[in-house]
Chains A and B, each alone.
Chain A
Amino acid sequence: MKVLTLNFLTCAVKACKTTSASFPLVPKECELVSDTIAPNPTLLTNLLPRVDWPALGSIAVALGFPSLSPLPPTPADLENDTKMMADLHTLLLETQISEGSLVCANCGHEYKVKEGIANFLLPNHLV
C-alpha cells in the first residue's frame, strides 16, 4: 500500500467516524518496499492540494523518513523544483507498506497489512 493511500485512510469503526483523532492511522512495525513507478507530474500536482500535509509529516517520521518541511510546497514550488517533485513521487507513490499494521489513535483498532493488502473487514458490532 502506497504512503499516499495511507494519507487518505481513516478508521472504519462507527464510533470513530465523528472524531478527528481517527486520522491518520499510525503505522506500526511496518516493512516497506520500494516500487519503481513512472513519474507523473500532472498527477502529483492534482493530488497535492488533497494531501494532508501534517499527517504526511507524522506518517513519514513514523516510517523512519526525515521530517518534512512544516508547510506543503505550492504548485509553483513543485513545478520549479524537480528534486522536490522527485522526492514527493518517491515518498507518496513509490514507497509502499508491505507488512505491518495501521493503528487507530482513537479506538486502538489495528488494521493488519499483509503482502501490501490492508484488512478493513470489521466485526458487525463495530460497523
Chain B
Amino acid sequence: MSRPEDTLPPDLHYNDTEARKYTTSSRIQTIQASMTHRALELLDISSPSMILDIGCGSGLSGEILSSIDPADGGPHIWVGMDISASMLDIALQRDVEGDLMLADIGQGLPFRAGTFDAAISISAIQWLCNAESSEVSSTGRLTRFFNGLYASLKRGGRAVCQFYPKNEQQRTMISGAAIKAGFGAGILEDDPGTKNAKLYLVLTVGGSAEEGAGEDITGVVKNLDGVDVLDARRKHKEKGRKDFKKGSKAWILSKKEQMERKGKVVKHSSKYTGRKRNIAF
C-alpha cells in the first residue's frame, strides 16, 4: 500500500474530503484514541496541565486531553498545531476545547521558552521526513521542529510522539534529530513484529543536573511502567552469544536483549512473551 506521505504534502492530502473521511471512520477513531491513552500513560502527568498537541488534526487526540477525569490528574488544556486547514475546520465543527493554530511544525514552534508541561503527537511527525519543497530539506525541518519543541517545554517536561516511520532510516533520522536538539530519548515499541506495531518516541527535557544532561537513551524510560530497561553493558558481558531456536521464547528474549543493547526500548517481557497469538485471516 502506498503511503500518503510519499504522495502529497500533508495540507493537500488532508483536504476537505479526506479530513472528513479520516475523522468519521470509527476504526481510525478507536486506534487514535488508544494511542493517545498510551501516550498519556507514558507522559505520566499527575495534575491538570498545559499540553501541546503536535499535528492535532481534527482533534481526535486532543479531545481526550480535555476529558481526563480529575481523579486521573485532568482535565488538561491544550494547544493544537496543524498544517491542514481542512482538518482544523473539522475540529471546529466538532467543537473541541483546545486552542487551534494553523502552523507548519517544520517551521518551528512560536512559543516562549518553558510554555508547556508536556507535548503529545499522534501519527504526525513522520510527515516531516518528506521535504515540502526543494527549498527546504527534511533535515532542516526536523531540526527546527525538535529545537522548537525542546525550548517550548518546561524543564523536566516530557513529550511522547507516536509515529509511523517508513523504514529504519526514517526512524533513525527522527530520533537522531530529537537527540541532537538536546532531548533524552527512547523508543518504545508496542506489539513489535505484528501489523499493529506502534512506535512511541519518548522524550525528556533534563530537569536537574543529576537526571539531566547526558541521559542515556534507555535511561529516559527507566521509571516508566511496562518498559524493561536493563543495564545493557553489564548484560552484554555476562552472557556470551547463544543460539536459540528461532521463534522460541529464549530466542525472543535474546533478541530483546540485543535490541536493548542498541538503545532500543522494547516492550516488557511478560508471561505472554513468545506465546502464539490467534491470528485471524
- Tell yes or no: B226 within 8 A of A by CB: no
Among the listed stretches A3-11, A57-65, A66-74, A75-83, which one makes contact with chain B, having 4 or more residues with CB under 8 Å of it?
Answer: A3-11
Complex: how many Å from CA A43 to CA B75?
9
Are A2 and B99 closer than 8 Å at their CB atoms? yes
Complex: how many Å from CA A118 to CA B136?
24
Complex: how many Å from CA A42 to CA B48?
7
A86 to chain B, nearest CB (A): 17
Q: If A40-B75, A50-B115 touch, does A9 touch B102 (CB 8 Å cutoff)?
A: no
Interface residues of B in 108-141 (CB under 8 A from A): 108, 110-112, 114-115, 117, 133, 135-136
A residues in contact (CB < 8 Å) with B: 1-2, 4-5, 8-12, 23, 37-38, 40, 42-43, 46-47, 50, 52, 93, 115-122, 124, 127
- Tell yes or no: B104 within 8 A of A by CB: yes
Are A121 and B47 closer than 8 Å at their CB atoms? no
Chain A contacts for B170, CB-based, 8 A: none
Are A8 and B111 closer than 8 Å at their CB atoms? yes
Are B117 and A46 closer than 8 Å at their CB atoms? yes
Interface CB pairs A-B, < 8 A, 7: A9-B112, A12-B107, A118-B101, A119-B102, A121-B83, A124-B133, A127-B108
Complex: how many Å from CA A93 to CA B50?
12
Are B133 and A120 closer than 8 Å at their CB atoms? no
The interface size bin for chain B is 20 to 34
Complex: how many Å from CA A127 to CA B75?
34
Q: If A46-B47, A121-B83 touch, does A127 touch B92 (CB 8 Å cutoff)?
A: no
Chain B contacts for A121, CB-based, 8 A: 83, 102-104, 107
Identify A118's interface contact among B102, B117, B144, B154, CB under 8 A: B102
Are B47 and A120 closer than 8 Å at their CB atoms? no
B62 to chain A, nearest CB (A): 13
Chain A contacts for B75, CB-based, 8 A: 38, 40
Give B106's nearest chain A residue, CB to CB.
A127
Q: If A46-B117, A124-B133 touch, does A117 touch B110 (CB 8 Å cutoff)?
A: no
Most interface-central of B110, B135, B144, B154 (chain A CB within 10 A):
B110
Q: If A5-B99, A42-B48, A121-B103 touch, does A10 touch B114 (CB 8 Å cutoff)?
A: no
